[in-house]
Amino acid sequence: MAQMSAPSASFKCFRQFNGADFGALLSSHSALKQPIADRHFPTASLQDKLVRELAGERTIAIKEVLECFEFFERVRKEIRAPCVVDLCCGHGLLGILFALFERRVERVILVDERIPLSFDKLLAASIRVGPWVEEKVEYRVGPIAAAHERLGAGASIVSVHACGVLTDRSIDCAIRLEGQVAVMPCCYRRAACEAPLAVQLAFGVEAAVDVDRTYRLEAAGYHVRWTHIPEQITPKNRILIGRKPKR
Ligand SMILES: C[S@@+](CC[C@H](N)C(=O)[O-])C[C@H]1O[C@@H](n2cnc3c(N)ncnc32)[C@H](O)[C@@H]1O
């Protein structure tokens, strides 16, 4: 039986990348530079302005930029809430997008066990585009296991490429807080998966692990939807969105 991999999707945020072959550009790990940004993100839209500012900092790869924007575009409506928490946030760009583009989001809390050097530069770039970002964003250094302790009920959780079991911890955190959740997992072989071997063999480890996560969320009262970002950015492109209906 054929194993199930995540299908690809078209670009929703940056539609200029649909239909043409950009080779390895869209998954490039090299720092985004100004000529590329000026060429591919030339408009006066807030999103293009931000990409050009980010390029000026020469600190984040185009892959990371596209990944965050395309993830954000697919989950923002379900996730927006007064408080959004980006777990295992790394550079923090995903959380910053919520602070910049979502009026309903009053606070963004970024959580990671360390702050990368790139964060200050990305934050500065985003504040130049939208000065309101500054008062919304807070970076908390600490382990994901303790993240829920200082978060209020109802906070939304997002997490992109929180490796293996860290995605499961992100889901646990959302369930504790009864908040909305969206994750894009990676490193499946290190997940806290209890999917039966037969399901893993038939559909592949990745699908089996995400099915297990889906059952866990549904058992906790969530409605779960799967979607994807374009595979040209990353093959680890499946998004699980869990919506907790209001009581
Ligand atoms: C693959 S990176 C993903 C970063 C970011 N979300 C992104 O998409 O670029 C995983 C992140 O998890 C963080 N991390 C690893 N173990 C952690 C833990 N126990 N608690 C909090 N953060 C952790 C790392 O420092 C790293 O920034």
pLDDT tens, position by position, 2-33: 567 677 789 999 999 998 889 899 999 999 99
CA separation for the pair 136, 98 (Å, rounded):
10
Going by CATH, does the domain composed of 62-243 fall within 3.40.50.150? yes
Domain segments of the chain as ranges: 62-243
> In the chain, helix, strand, coil percent, each to 5?
45, 20, 35
Amino acid 191: pLDDT: 84
- ∠ CA 73-187-119, nearest 5°, is 55
* pTM of this prediction exceeds 0.95: yes
Give the pair of three-digit tokens for residue 127.
């504040």
Residue 88: left (phi > 0), alpha (psi -120 to 50), or beta? left
CA of 230 to the centre of ligand 1 (A): 22
Q: Which amino acid is at 230?
A: P
Strand partners, 109: 85, 138
User: In the predicted model, what is the mean pLDDT of residues 116-144?
Assistant: 98
Give the pair of three-digit tokens for residue 189.
């072989």
Smallest CA separation from ligand 1 atom 9, residue: 90
Residue 106 makes CB contacts below 8 A (sequence gap 6+) with 82, 83, 136
| Residue whose CB lies within 8 A of the most ligand 1 atoms, among 113, 115, 118, 168, for a mutation test | 113
CA of 44 to the centre of ligand 1 (A): 32
CA separation for the pair 128, 72 (Å, rounded):
20
Amino acid 198: pLDDT: 93
CB of 143 closer than 6 angstroms to any ligand 1 atom: yes
User: Residue 16, SS3?
Assistant: helix
Per-residue pLDDT tens for 169-202? 999 999 999 999 999 999 998 888 788 899 999 9
Smallest CA separation from ligand 1 atom 26, residue: 90
CB of 90 closer than 6 angstroms to any ligand 1 atom: yes
CA of 112 to the centre of ligand 1 (A): 6
User: Residue 220, SS3?
Assistant: coil
193 or 121: which leads in pLDDT: 121
CB of 163 closer than 6 angstroms to any ligand 1 atom: yes
